Amino acid sequence: MATIDDMGTAVPETENGQADSLLLWILVWSELAAFGALLVAFLVTTVLDTGGATLLRSHLHPGLAALNTVLLVLSGWLAALAVRREGNAVRRPLVLAALFGFAFAAVKAIEYTVEVRSGIGGVGTLAELYFLITGFHLLHVLFGAGILLLVAWRPSRANVVMIATLWHAIDLVWLVMFPIVYLT
């Protein structure tokens, strides 16, 4: 089987390429498992502490989280668009995807500021889980946006596919997290 490099030339699939793909999917699944465990802990804690869950939700801002959902979905679409392009045409969608990722981070920083000022820290374990889950995700967004820019600077077909796959995993985590944390 052959793949197409950044110059549009067919290159035979190598064992190294297959190993890279395996490592990518191990990373993706381990990230999904880690976030899954955190979200299960959050759900269990909300069931065990319904009063705390109600108090936590009174401090959250689902409108800002919905805006962040739109930003990440648009960013994911741009990353997917980059995968469909060849050569230097991948750069613009990757840079725009990264900018939407940084916009997500800016909105999240505003959200955190408002929540801390409103006294969310007094909520207890659920607030700690909230900040752990969303903060861990925010770190992934910042790291992923940085890698998107790095790949846009020196694109290769394999790296574009790899960062787009990781970026979609980050999107997927948020799409699962959003209703669990903000809407239930």
Categorize the per-residue pLDDT at 179 as very low, low, confident or very high, splitting at 50, 70 and 90. very high
- Closest by Cα among 1, 141, 7 to 69: 141
CA distance 59 to 148: 33
* Range name among 2-6, 28-32, 137-141 with the lowest pLDDT average: 2-6
Range of the domain at 98: 2-183
The amino acid present at 23, given as its one-letter code, is L
Q: Is the dihedral of CA 71, 73, 75, 77 positive or negative?
A: negative
- 26-67: pLDDT as tens digits: 888 999 999 999 999 999 999 999 998 999 998 899 999 999
Q: Which two tokens stand for residue 23?
A: 């490592």
Q: pLDDT band at 122, cuts 50/70/90?
A: confident
CA–centroid distance for 80 within its chain: 14
> What CATH number does residue 57 fall under?
1.20.120.80
Q: Rounded to two decimals, what is the model's pTM?
A: 0.85
Share of the chain above pLDDT 90, in %: 73
Q: Nearest-CA neighbor of 179 among 44, 59, 49, 57? A: 57
Report, as an integer, the average pLDDT of 81-88: 92
pLDDT of 8 strictly over 50: yes
Q: Which amino acid is at 162?
A: M
- DSSP 8-state symbol, 119: T
Contact in structure between 46 and 53 (CB atoms under 8 Å): yes
What pLDDT score does 147 carry?
Answer: 96
- Percent of the chain predicted with pLDDT > 70: 89
Distance CA 103, CA 101 (A): 5
Higher pLDDT, 41 or 4: 41
Chain centre to alpha carbon of residue 86: 24
Domain count, the chain: 1
Cβ atoms within 10 Å of 174's Cβ, excluding its own: 23
pLDDT beyond 80 at 20:
no
Residue 63 to residue 183: CA distance in whole angstroms: 11
